[in-house]
Amino acid sequence: MNINLKIPKLKFGKIDMHSAEEFDKIVDYEKMSKSKTPPKNIKGPYEHTNYKTVKEFFYRAVNLYGENQCILEKPNHKEPYKIKSYNDFYYDVNALGTSLTKLLNLKDKRIVIVGETQYGWYTSYMAILCGAGVAVPIDRELPTNELENLIKRSKASAVIYSPKKKDDIKKIRSRLKKVNYFIEMKSDDKLNGKDVGLEYLIENGKDIIKSGNRDFEKIEIEPEDFKVLIFTSGTTANSKGVMLCNKNLAENINAITAYVKLYPSDMLFSVLPLHHTYESTIGFLYPISQGASVAVCEGLRYIVPNLQEAKPTAILTVPLLVENIYKKINESIKKSHKEKVVSSMIIATNLLKVVGIDIKKKIFKDIYDNLGGNLRIIVSAAAPIDKKVGKWLDDIGMLFIQGYGLTETAPIAAVTPDYKLSIGSAGKTIWQADIKIENPNNEGEGEILIKSPTLMLGYYEDEEETKKAIDTEGYFHSGDIGYLDDDGFVYITGRSKNVIVTQNGKNIYPEEIETLLLKNQEIKDVIVYGKAPEGSTAEKKDKQELIITARVVPNYDIIKNQNKKELSDDEIYDLIWNIIKETNKKLTSYKAIKILEIKKEDFEKTSTMKVKRYKELNQ
């Protein structure tokens, strides 16, 4: 299976930097002259929330912000965003929950949700979390055989699906004997056997509520009851079912409110798939808890026009997209011949900020306008990011936040406080959690262990794997390698399952070498691994030194543009090998790459754009 997550060519407008010409008019010299001391830094953390369930903070948000915009979605590419208020969303959630429990008798039953990000997905998920059953979000990119497998594994009684998944559901429904209902989003079809439309269920629920039945609203949620089943993407092994409860999700909100300020006026831009906890918890539940809104991106190819139309204040994304935005904007700056102006303005505005004068958004207005004009926060997680990208975003006045966690922590275990940035780290340990390093080496690196109220209930129907993952003291063994600084900031250096151990006991973390290689635009993707010498048998493998090998997917388009022609396979090999030789000079000798393998096709990736290493290396 090859999931197509190729980021399209982003097109940004010209960067004129006219605002830089107005520098003297923008700078408040009178204020600057009065500023004798730098502004005081907020020590933090902020006063945090103490929610126990999703229903608690959702109902509170409705009471406080009922008329505010909640979810924005485009009916089609030509029409403007359609707005649903908090009240609209609340009525639809309660109506759907009422139908699911009263008409379809699905209370406490497993309900699969599969489809693109849309209003029906949000409504379904929230209705389930507020009392309608157990949510089972599934990756919409899965082939039908895997979709069928997960529906069966979860013992689902119902499947809520988007119209685009209708054909896939048709192919497998005859084999899904235990599924009682197939519910199609955006459909108002009445109940007919096992089939029914989501819109019909919402309208039916409203009628039941109007008749005086408010049972769904009165359902009390037990914070630690199993409420969500999410199958991991399986980057290092086959997918496991992670069991989450309301407490896990609510504690994520409590964690973030201590470190990051979000306001009802904020709008998050939803790009990532909702079946992943990163997006469904931080990109959806968190803004809902704060009375903020969410604007749905139509798809990766529409990122730029959607940003410019919705004008969001925050975007939750992954390094691949952030780095692409960084590259494309800097290409626009270069084409506009404004590199020197931007560089000088970064120096000047950084100096002014030290004395409490922040004019970055005014000076870099052209850059902000390309991203909608209002963007103030970019959050990156799920994989390492080049430190220079985060530094550049900070230099132009963007709040660059990184987060660390896993599906098993629903997902947050660490996040960057907005009052104390630490670019290069994966964030500061959340205030409720205890993170420690197991058996640290001389550099303080070891496996990251996490004890937190955001930690899962366990793996679904897999007590053995649960015991392997969570020790007797309640610490989750993350499989990530890293270290902590004195302030509790987490630094990730690799995955324990990926580590290459030399014969003299040295540990080599492939991610460190991969990050260096990926700084070269001629390399589109790379996996570094330890390769057994040719002719090795299984018995000999453990006794022989593994050879450090780089499997590279070249960026053929860039190589062609650079050379004004297509290069032969041998020429491309030589070009990449020269890059590797230069990279080796930056590494200690035992980490040096000895073998290069060229791969012409893209690596298979998860929906958060991480390479499925175990599949790639087992081919």
pLDDT tens digits for 225-276? 999 999 986 544 467 999 999 999 999 999 999 999 999 999 999 999 999 9
Phi, psi of 321 (to 5 degrees): -75, -40
Please give the structure tokens belonging to residue 358: 């922040």
Listed residues 220, 245, 260: the one ending a domain: 220
Q: Regarding beta strands 241-245 and 226-231, do their DSSP bridges make them parallel or antiparallel, or are they unpaired?
A: antiparallel
CATH code for the domain in which residue 200 is found: 3.40.50.980
Q: Which residues pair with 281 in a beta bridge?
A: none
Q: Does 355 reside within a domain?
A: no
385: part of which helix (H) or strand (E)? Answer: none
Q: Does 319 reside within a domain?
A: no
CA distances (Å), origin 132, targets 57, 70, 165, 594? 17, 21, 23, 56
438: part of which helix (H) or strand (E)? Answer: strand 434-438
177: DSSP letter: T
Q: How far apart are CA 165 and CA 125, in angstroms?
A: 17
DSSP 66-98: TTSEEEEE-SSTTSPPEEEEHHHHHHHHHHHHH
316: part of which helix (H) or strand (E)? Answer: strand 314-317
CA distances (Å), origin 313, targets 174, 203, 276, 281, 421? 45, 33, 22, 18, 18
Q: Regarding beta strands 500-501 and 490-495, do their DSSP bridges make them parallel or antiparallel, or are they unpaired?
A: unpaired
- The 446-451 sheet, strands edge to edge: 434-438, 446-451, 476-484, 490-495
What is the residue range of 514's domain? 500-617
- In 3D, which of 272, 280, 366, 285 has the Cα closest to residue 315? 272
pTM of the model: 0.83
Q: Does 374 reside within a domain?
A: no
- In 3D, which of 184, 187, 189 has the Cα closest to residue 115? 184
Q: Does 415 reside within a domain?
A: no
Q: Does 180 reside within a domain?
A: yes
Peptide bond into 453 cis (omega under 30): no
Q: Does 49 reside within a domain?
A: no
Q: Regarding beta strands 267-270 and 314-317, do their DSSP bridges make them parallel or antiparallel, or are they unpaired?
A: parallel
CA distances (Å), origin 125, targets 114, 300, 406, 524? 11, 23, 20, 36
Please give the structure tokens belonging to residue 165: 């998944």
User: Structural domain tally of the chain?
Assistant: 2
CATH code for the domain in which residue 509 is found: 3.30.300.30
Contacts of 560 (CB under 8 A, 6+ apart): 566, 567
Q: Give percent above pLDDT 70 in the chain.
A: 92
**Three-state DSSP class for residue 423:** strand
Listed residues 190, 220, 250: the one ending a domain: 220
Q: How far apart are CA 288 and CA 511, in angstroms?
A: 35
Listed residues 189, 220, 251: the one ending a domain: 220
439: part of which helix (H) or strand (E)? Answer: none
The sign of the dihedral angle between the CA atoms of 14, 20, 21, 25 is positive
Burial of 379 (0-12, 13-18, 19+ CB in 10 A): buried
Residue 387 has pLDDT above 60, yes or no: yes
Phi, psi of 591 (to 5 degrees): -95, -5
Question: pLDDT, tens digit, for every residue of 420-455?
Answer: 989 889 999 999 999 999 989 888 989 999 999 999
* Average pLDDT of the chain, as a whole number: 90
Query: Predicted confidence band at 210 (pLDDT cuts at 50, 70, 90)?
Result: very high
Question: pLDDT, tens digit, for every residue of 60-111?
Answer: 999 999 999 999 999 999 999 999 999 999 999 999 999 999 999 999 999 9
Higher-confidence position of 31 and 359: 359
Query: Predicted confidence band at 542 (pLDDT cuts at 50, 70, 90)?
Result: very low
Q: Does 17 reside within a domain?
A: no
Q: Does 190 reside within a domain?
A: yes
Contacts of 248 (CB under 8 A, 6+ apart): 228, 409, 410, 453, 454, 455, 456, 457
Contacts of 373 (CB under 8 A, 6+ apart): 308, 311
Peptide bond into 45 cis (omega under 30): yes
Q: Which residue has the tokens 């058996």?
A: 439
Q: Give percent above pLDDT 90 in the chain.
A: 71
Question: pLDDT, tens digit, for every residue of 110-136?
Answer: 999 999 999 999 999 999 999 999 999
